[in-house]
């Protein structure tokens, strides 16, 4: 957030502004906020550190066993809903790419997994591994027979 010196503020303005942004645009939940002023130089020296942190998060690799353990925990907490009278089961997952972090989740009926459940998986994976400042992709795949 540049031009932060122009905003009328008190000691709670930045947290309130950040919270309001995240409420209005939930997709910003994983984006770091840095309040700067180019005019005064306030916090400008932190920009490069944040860029390096986000770049490191972008190339982070998670082991398949960690991904499977987390998937198992998430599914145990909340099963995927049935769809079209069929049980939807997610069996295993792995990280298939970095930049952006991409996970493949394998199941019996990946086409029937609803969008809200994919968001649940996103949130669960982010809770475990962060990937701060980066988009994350989850690909649903049919388990090979």
Q: What is the pLDDT of residues 40-90, one digit of tens each?
A: 888 888 889 999 999 999 999 999 999 999 999 999 999 998 877 888 999
CB neighbours of residue 58 within 10 Å: 16
- pLDDT for residue 139: 97
- pLDDT for residue 8: 67
CATH (one of 3.30.300.20, 2.40.37.10, 3.40.50.720, 3.90.1170.10) for 64-142: 3.30.300.20
Does the reported pTM lie above 0.75? yes
Tens-place pLDDT, residues 110-121: 999 999 999 999
Per-residue pLDDT band for 38 (boundaries 50, 70, 90) equals: confident
The CATH 3.30.300.20 portion of the chain extends over 64-142
- Fill in the DSSP letter of residue 5: G
Q: How far is CA 143 from the centre of its chain?
A: 24
SS3 label, residue 126: helix
Question: Is a pLDDT exceeding 80 seen at residue 5?
Answer: no
């Amino acid at each position: 957030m540049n031009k932060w010196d122009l905003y009328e503020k008190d000691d709670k303005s930045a947290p309130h502004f950040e919270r309001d942004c995240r409420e209005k645009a939930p997709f910003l939940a994983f984006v770091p906020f840095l309040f700067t002023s180019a005019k005064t130089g306030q916090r400008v020296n932190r920009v490069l550190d944040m860029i390096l942190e986000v770049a490191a998060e972008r190339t982070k690799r998670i082991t398949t066993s960690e991904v499977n353990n987390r998937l198992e925990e998430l599914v145990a907490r909340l099963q995927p809903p049935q769809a079209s009278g069929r049980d939807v089961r997610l069996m295993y997952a792995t990280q298939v790419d970095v930049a952006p972090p991409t996970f493949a989740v394998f199941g019996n009926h990946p086409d029937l997994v609803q969008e809200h459940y994919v968001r649940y998986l996103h949130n669960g994976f982010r809770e475990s591994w962060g990937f701060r400042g980066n988009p994350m992709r989850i690909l649903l795949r049919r388990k090979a027979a």
